[in-house]
Structure 1
Amino acid sequence: MRDDNGFESALMEPLFILNYETGTIEPWLGESLTSNGNLDVWTLKIRDGVKWSDGEDYDADDVVFTITLLKEGPPELSNAGAMREWVKTVTKVDRLTAEFTLTRPNPRFQLDYFAVKIFRNVPILPEHIWRDKDPLTFKNYDPEKGWPVFTGPYKLAGASPTRFAWRRDPNWWGAKANFKPLPKPERLEFVVAETEEVRVARASNNELDVLDDITTGAYESLHARNEGFVAWDPEKPYSWADPCTRLLSFNNMVPPWNDREMRWAVNFAVDKDEIIRIAYEGSTTKASIFFPPYKGLNDYMALLDKEGLFEEYPILRHDPDQARETIESKGYRLDGDGLYRRNGRPLRLQIDAPSEGTEISRYAGVIGEQLQRIGIDTTVRKLAFGTFADNLSKGNFEAAADFSACGSVSEPWFSMDIFHERRAVPIGREASGNNVRWRNAAYSRHVDAMAGLPLGDRRIERPFVEAARLWLRDLPFFPAAHAKKLYSFNTTYWTGWPSKGDNYIHPPTVWNSSHRIIHNLRPAT
């Protein structure tokens, strides 16, 4: 089952939810997950009264079973690598309490794995269903038995290649335990595999309540035809900033892009305002570093401004003359075709982009045209996502339009650690992060200095600034733009959708955090 068709938002509930808008972690199935002073023992308290959809108790046995399965079961299971890396032991303290002893201190243990930091988190499984089953082949699907079994307020009512339907469960534990009343919608349907044109046409006829992400032009056309549809932001850019900032990444082991001055030349050649205007139709904003513009990160961004880093390294400046000066200082000269050559060889750059990512391919194309204009013979190669991701991981690329810095949403360490030198492996070997294969020992030491400090600790600030300074100096990749998601909600039948003005939660409707949205909906009067 795809997890963007209701699995996360109707069927499976999280232990905790990170609220991007407040920066706080809210309890759901869990009441608390707290650490000792050393940050290497974490104690989970489960909410009393939680039950699986078949009436069995949700308790510490299920938590211990799930984490043990990830630690000792097939390594290809999602989250198995993380649990093996971080969890030394997990034990049951009592019916509603489990204790995690970690392999080393981790101040982000709750945030990274149990708080829906981005899209999903570690799903806890019902031990009484999954015990003695092969997790690679067991489907947890048998309508006659009431499977799939999870804790959410909806049960699967039907599935097809293009539609998943969910009906409200009148016996949902949350209503009986006085946690929350039953959600108002009695039925949820998730429609997939439709073009934007078809989705907008159906939405204008009130056949859809949510459009998950559309272009600016499509939204403006929809809103003109049906004023019941509203966006996260009523004014341009309309959209919400997605956590995965869009990048232009260089393979730092491939000449001439292993030269930081050449990477800066490309940055100066790229007009980010034009990217936003053409590729995004004005629906997003420029990014000066690879973090999304969220509440938990804004203070760190302000610190970089205060330290003058963006004056020292003017990453947002469009300066074609500086780009040409740098390129020519390396011995390149323009030929009669307006392209740079050195010793008869053209200066070329191939930018890879996933063929499925229309938005990513679009900004890659804009960058390609800009670099061509300045004299770099640039091509954009569109690849199936599987091939694209494999090439990035193994270093089989020159440059890529990608989002591989994705991870930090409320603290800076996670994304910065992706580019630690320990992750830089030779071309041909699969990397676990740092696809750009950038090596900077001083940067890595500053990132390590942040790793064990509690979230929000002021001692994070100095190593953060110094690591950011080294990243800006070397510029192993640079942000093309903040990622955008233009969510559009239909207020004809339902109210209570999140918005910039009523930002009780961030707006994704297929994330595991979207239970907050569904429980906030009310019939329109």
Structure 2
Amino acid sequence: MPKIKRIVPMLVLAAMLSSLTFALACGSETIVEVTREVEVVKEVEVVKEVEVEKEVEVVKEVEVVKEVEKEVAVEVEVTPTPVPLGYTDVPRNRTLIMAGLGGEHPGAFTDIEQFNAHAPGLSRSGLYQAASEGLFYFNMLTGELIPWMATDYEYDDGYTGVTVNIRDGVEWSDGTPFTAHDVAFTLNMANTNPLSARHGAVNQWTDEATAIDDHTVHISFTGPSPRYVWDLLIFRADIGVPWIPKHIFEDVPEDELAEFGHYDPAKGWPVVTGPYRLVHTDVEKKIWDRRDDWWAAKIGFQDLPQVERLIFLPGMNEITMAQLLITNEIDMAFSLTVPNYKAVVAQNPNMTTHYYGEPPFGYEDWWPVGLGLNTKRPPFDNKNVRWAISYSINRDEVIEFGFGGGQIVQQLPWPYYAPMQKYHDEVADLLETYDTSEYNPEKSAALMEGEGYTRDGEGFWVKDGERVGIHIVTFPQHPSTTPAAPVVTQNLRRGGFDASFSTPTDFIDQIFQGHADGFIWGHGSMVDPEPVLKGYRCELVTEGEIGFIAYPGFYRWCNEEFDSYVEQMTALPEDSPGVLPLYRKAMEIWLPELPDIPLTSTIITLPMNTTYWTEESWPHNDNQYVHEGFWHRTGLHIFLNLEPVE
């Protein structure tokens, strides 16, 4: 039997960390430190090997430790930190402080002076969701389409182009009107300049964008493209082309686009359309202050947000975020496991979640996760081995021990949103035969033995003298992937696979370039499965096993018949009834092949602090004006709806 390691996947508060004082956010104030007794709950899962019965017994221990912090009887007068860039003090109940982003930039920002939305590697720290705006927004929880900087659109006959009407009165922060010329310039630049981070998405279907007048832009396509608006022009989650000011970027040489930072405080850069302007940037934080001359308020389209200042902090571990929530030094955190959320609430009851602090706590994100494999690398090119790996994973254990019960089992790589339900139902009969959630060690062993594998002295599968090794990589800190990694690894080892995992800072490069055997990654669909399925197309599979970037085809799986059905889906509008039968045909191939192993949903338990912001104004399951992903492009709608506690 393989040696089973002790698993401690859930980080819970253990020690008081040094507090961050946001004097620059709150102004001068007196802080009184008070003695208090803190109860620290630590959950430990112990995986224990039982040699006689050859099974694994899982034991959960709960240890309660009471600590008394240092006694302090003095009042400490905090002197405000000198304010950089000339911005003024803002009350704490007008300052929204967010930590964690979407998992990227752990520990520190690296894009300190980069605010060019078409440069690679930008963090989601305000530019996309506070300073940029979409022509349209889409609420992924309700399915509502919200016209914003545009009023409407109309496709040409045969979906060979589209006309978009721009709202009158939209302005850039320097007073220059935002017009159809900005839209046309952005699309044409991204289409023709491969240095644009949007080039791949725009170039596939864009022929030319033309400004008919200031308020009308026509976009001609390279071929029929009924999904063009959905794919490029609607802000939803991380999707949607960010618009850039023509009057600034037209002077940037094409070969300097990626290096151009669009950052010069003396010039008022970055120039934006959103209700916030950049006032500070360094490795520790990005700060944006409200613009009272925001176009939407000037024309009566929207009220000015009551959030006057936004502070974005980089990615950090759960212990740090939990401590900052307890001491009210942050308002939102991406994100906590359920046990850690409960530990925070025990010490600071002024917390809420999407379900008001009750199960399932968080909102269902568009990004369910799976275990991906480099299917160009033997033995992962063998579908029977892939199914054997799937059968060896107990997803209930992954959810219990990795997430404290805060996820649900996922059979398909898309969420259970209302528009997606018909696609789950369509293949329900196929899932009875190809149950992607089934835990069955006997089936796993039979498949491996059928492929000529035997177990060695330590219980690992071996063939021709080589073990089946699986090294898994994933995010250093992500609520739906990182906690799963150790539990999935232990399941695989128990099933005879020589598995290990790591969370390296270059995990994306390892996945995209094929260096990783396996990876825990997510998938995004909201109204139909086509966006996920087209990520498995042959054209995305690069030559060679290692070193060639394959995005989003990093599964490196190819089936030409499958491709034909997906291509026909792409040729139809996302809401066309003709998508369903094509989807069925594609899944009749995908499920037996299993190029990607579904694991769990992504239920994001994101604490929202009610100390400074009213509970009623946060997004909840009964008030889903937006989901609470503040790092997404739709985060603007949180900032516009929050109301301060007076």
Do structure 1's residue 48 and structure 2's residue 168 form an aligned pair? yes
Q: Deviation string for 1:390-436 (max 9, x for gaps)? A: 34333333322223xx3422221111011112323332433243222
User: What are the within-5 Å matches in structure 2 for residues 417-456 of structure 1?
Assistant: 417-426=534-543, 427-428=545-546, 429-456=548-575
Alignment-derived partner of residue 521 in structure 1: 642
Alignment-derived partner of residue 576 in structure 2: 457
- Could you tell me how far 1:357 is from its partner in structure 2? 4.9
Larger helix share, 1 or 2 = 1
Q: Deviation string for 1:435-473 (max 9, x for gaps)? A: 222122221121122111122111111110121121111
TM-score of the pair, normalised by structure 2: 0.77
- Could you tell me how far 1:295 is from its partner in structure 2? 2.8
Match of 2:336 among 214, 227, 232: 214
**CA–CA distance in 2 between the matches of 1:33 and 1:399?**
42
Alignment-derived partner of residue 596 in structure 2: 477
Report SS of the residue matched to 2:187: helix
Alignment-derived partner of residue 140 in structure 1: 262
Alignment-derived partner of residue 191 in structure 2: 71
Q: How many residues align?
A: 518
User: What are the within-5 Å matches in structure 2 for residues 107-146 of structure 1?
Assistant: 107-134=226-253, 135-146=257-268
Do structure 1's residue 374 and structure 2's residue 492 form an aligned pair? no
Alignment-derived partner of residue 309 in structure 2: 187
Do structure 1's residue 413 and structure 2's residue 533 form an aligned pair? no
Change (3 A) 1:346 1:62: closer
Alignment-derived partner of residue 515 in structure 2: 396
Match of 1:13 among 133, 141, 145: 133
**CA–CA distance in 1 between the matches of 2:404 and 2:480?**
11
TM-score of the pair, normalised by structure 1: 0.94
Alignment-derived partner of residue 273 in structure 1: 396
**CA–CA distance in 2 between the matches of 1:19 and 1:127?**
29
Change (3 A) 1:143 1:264: same
Report SS of the residue matched to 1:465: helix
Q: Which is worse superposed, 123-132 or 329-338?
A: 329-338
CA contact (8 A) 1:18 1:111 kept: no
**CA–CA distance in 2 between the matches of 1:12 and 1:72?**
22
- Could you tell me how far 1:211 is from its partner in structure 2? 1.6
Report SS of the residue matched to 2:410: coil
Report SS of the residue matched to 2:158: coil
CA contact (8 A) 2:395 2:437 kept: yes
- Could you tell me how far 1:159 is from its partner in structure 2? 2.1
Change (3 A) 1:345 1:170: closer
Q: Deviation string for 1:25-51 (max 9, x for gaps)? A: 211111113212311211111111111
Do structure 1's residue 247 and structure 2's residue 370 form an aligned pair? yes
- Could you tell me how far 1:333 is from its partner in structure 2? 2.3
Alignment-derived partner of residue 326 in structure 1: 447
Change (3 A) 1:309 1:193: closer
Report SS of the residue matched to 1:157: strand
**CA–CA distance in 2 between the matches of 1:352 and 1:182?**
43
Q: Which is worse superposed, 134-143 or 472-481?
A: 134-143
**CA–CA distance in 2 between the matches of 1:357 and 1:511?**
15
Report SS of the residue matched to 2:235: coil
CA contact (8 A) 2:368 2:524 kept: no
CA contact (8 A) 2:474 2:502 kept: yes
Q: Deviation string for 1:342-376 (max 9, x for gaps)? A: 34433333333344558534322212211211222
Alignment-derived partner of residue 32 in structure 1: 152
Change (3 A) 1:202 1:378: closer
CA contact (8 A) 1:284 1:481 kept: yes
CA contact (8 A) 2:334 2:479 kept: no
Change (3 A) 1:341 1:37: same
Q: Deviation string for 1:200-253 (max 9, x for gaps)? A: 222222222212312222211112222221011232231222322221112222
- Could you tell me how far 1:193 is from its partner in structure 2? 4.8
CA contact (8 A) 2:480 2:604 kept: no
Alignment-derived partner of residue 586 in structure 2: 467
Name stretches of at least 5 consecutive residues in structure 1 with no aligned partner. Answer: none
Alignment-derived partner of residue 264 in structure 1: 387
Do structure 1's residue 365 and structure 2's residue 486 form an aligned pair? yes
CA contact (8 A) 1:20 1:295 kept: no
Match of 2:225 among 102, 106, 113: 106
Which consecutive aligned stretches of 4+ in structure 1 deviate over 4 angstroms post-superposition?
354-359
Change (3 A) 1:180 1:253: same
**CA–CA distance in 2 between the matches of 1:185 and 1:26?**
21
Alignment-derived partner of residue 303 in structure 1: 426
Q: What amino acid sits opposite 1:92 in the alignment? A: A
Alignment-derived partner of residue 46 in structure 2: none
Q: What amino acid sits opposite 2:127 in the alignment? A: F
CA contact (8 A) 2:479 2:604 kept: no
Q: Deviation string for 1:254-310 (max 9, x for gaps)? A: 2222221111111111101111111222111111011122233222112222xx111
Change (3 A) 1:341 1:195: closer
Match of 2:350 among 224, 228, 233: 228
Name stretches of at least 5 consecutive residues in structure 2 with no aligned partner. Answer: 1-113, 115-121
Q: Which is worse superposed, 87-96 or 181-190?
A: 181-190
Q: What amino acid sits opposite 1:23 in the alignment? A: G
**CA–CA distance in 2 between the matches of 1:55 and 1:452?**
40
**CA–CA distance in 1 between the matches of 2:490 and 2:420?**
33
Report SS of the residue matched to 1:42: strand
